[in-house]
Amino acid sequence: MFARSGFVAPWCALVMMLANGCASETGDIERAEPLGQEDVEEKEQALAARKHPRGTLLRSERLRRLNLRQVRRELADEDFDVSAVKYGVELYRLLYTTVDTEGKPIVASGLFVIPRNGERRLKLVSSAHGTELFKGDAPSFGEDTFIIGAPLTFASAGYAVAAPDYVGLGLGSGPHPYMHLPTEVSASLDMLRASATFATRIDKTVERAVYVTGFSQGSLAALGLARLLETTPDSGFSLSALAPVSGPYEVRRWFRAALDPDGGISAKDATMYLAYLSVAWNRIYGLYDAPGEFFRAPYADGIEPLLDNTHEGLELAEATPDTPLELLTPEAVARYRDPDPILAEPIDELGALCNSWTPRAPVRLYAATGDEQVPYWNSVYCDAALRERGHSPTLVDLGPLGHLESNVAAAREVLVFFDSL
């Protein structure tokens, strides 16, 4: 996902909201009313978060209103299937309270999309996005159709869609704790709560039985959210169906393959993923005392500043080598190949998503045999693990597509699944 760089930076988006600046290609699309800069300052966010319980809606802003023709055009421009598009949509940014990696209150943002079909009661989808490095690439900026293509697909077919940015992306404060399952799940659940509140303010009601999906990183967030909904009766929601797409479920094997020149994973993509993971996990778990312990020269000196979520993926691509073995020290490589207790904690937490529970709701896994970043065997593993637990999932082969292409192809397939229930 690093190759997909957003074209509207956070500050540009703020200027647009404040003064209708930042020229857009969307023409007659109705845009948001101004949002004060003070609403996104970290100090203001921290204060607001401390005053309210998790899932409290703090602010909502309409980003865009698209008619039927505009939805079809935007989706078609990114090769999404438009055969199920029936309605125009409205896109809103929500700011809400959630928790950080230490369980402390924090403000996060997300995208909420509804169909323009006149219905007051709507089925609800939680749609979790894939890896994004830059804050301005998050769904709540509502501009990059590749990133919001799945939410647009579902909403234009009649669903309400809650798409969390996750902690630290969008207008949330702080760096993003990449691949930190607890905050991905809490941000997703709290986005559902904020969305339900917002829906009532626009004279809508969302159903509490949720259709859950997610792509790549978001597939893990989706699995974690689905598990929580089925094992936590007081969450306020239940699970209707689960449809994760192209996820790295067999996590230990993925790391070994990423570090193997013949492991079937794009070396450059693996290098960037491992850079992002290492810096993010160091902030949470303390993997190293100094970057030089984990990253080779000359990369050790500049890698952490590049991964504060204010830089785009192309910047990281230009600043990193072509292979993981050129980036990481031998000690770091050895630790990823055979995780010590510090690394084993997040790796095994993610790896347990397919074998630690037995879903009651129907599950379909989607994956592509040509995926160069998250190989197909990950979904084969998850399918087998769920079957061992007594569930009967369906594994859908999207064909010989690459990783990014699988996101596009799956949107329509997931919608067909949800509509069939």
**Burial of residue 147 (number of CB atoms within 10 Å: 0-12, 13-18, 19+):** buried
pLDDT band at 50 (very low <50, low <70, confident <90, very high): confident
Q: What is the pLDDT of residue 44?
A: 66
**389 neighbors 267 (Cβ within 8 angstroms):** no
Q: What percentage of the chain has pLDDT greater than the value 70?
A: 89
Q: Is the pLDDT of residue 42 over 90?
A: no
Strand-pairing partners, residue 99, are 105
Sorted by where each starts, the structural domains of the chain and their CATH numbers stand as 40-250+352-419 (3.40.50.1820), 261-350 (1.10.260.160)
- pLDDT tens per residue, range 59-108: 999 999 999 999 999 999 999 999 999 999 999 999 999 999 999 999 99
Quick one: tokens of 323?
């292979």
Instruction: In whole angstroms, give the CA distance from residue 307 to residue 1.
Output: 15
pLDDT band at 49 (very low <50, low <70, confident <90, very high): confident
Q: Is the pLDDT of residue 16 over 60?
A: no
Q: Which is it for strands 30-31 and 57-66: parallel, antiparallel or unpaired?
A: antiparallel
User: Strand order in 160-164's β-sheet?
Assistant: 30-31, 57-66, 89-99, 105-115, 160-164, 121-128, 205-215, 238-245, 364-367, 394-397
Instruction: In whole angstroms, give the CA distance from residue 397 to residue 42.
Output: 43
**344 neighbors 376 (Cβ within 8 angstroms):** no
**What is the average pLDDT across 179-191?**
98
* CA neighbor of 222 nearest in space, from 359, 342, 345: 359
Sequence letter at residue 85: V
145 to each of 73, 268, 337, how far by Cα in Å?
A: 10, 24, 36
Q: Is the pLDDT of residue 362 over 80?
A: yes
The answer to whether the pTM exceeds 0.85 is: yes
- pLDDT tens per residue, range 316-355: 999 999 999 999 999 999 999 999 999 999 999 999 999 9
Q: Is the pLDDT of residue 223 over 50?
A: yes
Q: What is the pLDDT of residue 19?
A: 32
Q: Is the pLDDT of residue 2 over 80?
A: no
339 to each of 124, 252, 332, 348, how far by Cα in Å?
A: 38, 8, 10, 9
Strand-pairing partners, residue 139, are none
Q: Is the pLDDT of residue 32 over 60?
A: no
**66 neighbors 29 (Cβ within 8 angstroms):** yes
HSE value, Cβ hemisphere, 13 Å, CA-based, for 281: 20
**349 neighbors 245 (Cβ within 8 angstroms):** no
- pLDDT tens per residue, range 249-268: 999 999 999 999 999 999 99
Q: Is the pLDDT of residue 11 over 90?
A: no
Q: What is the pLDDT of residue 173?
A: 87
- pLDDT tens per residue, range 379-393: 999 999 999 999 999
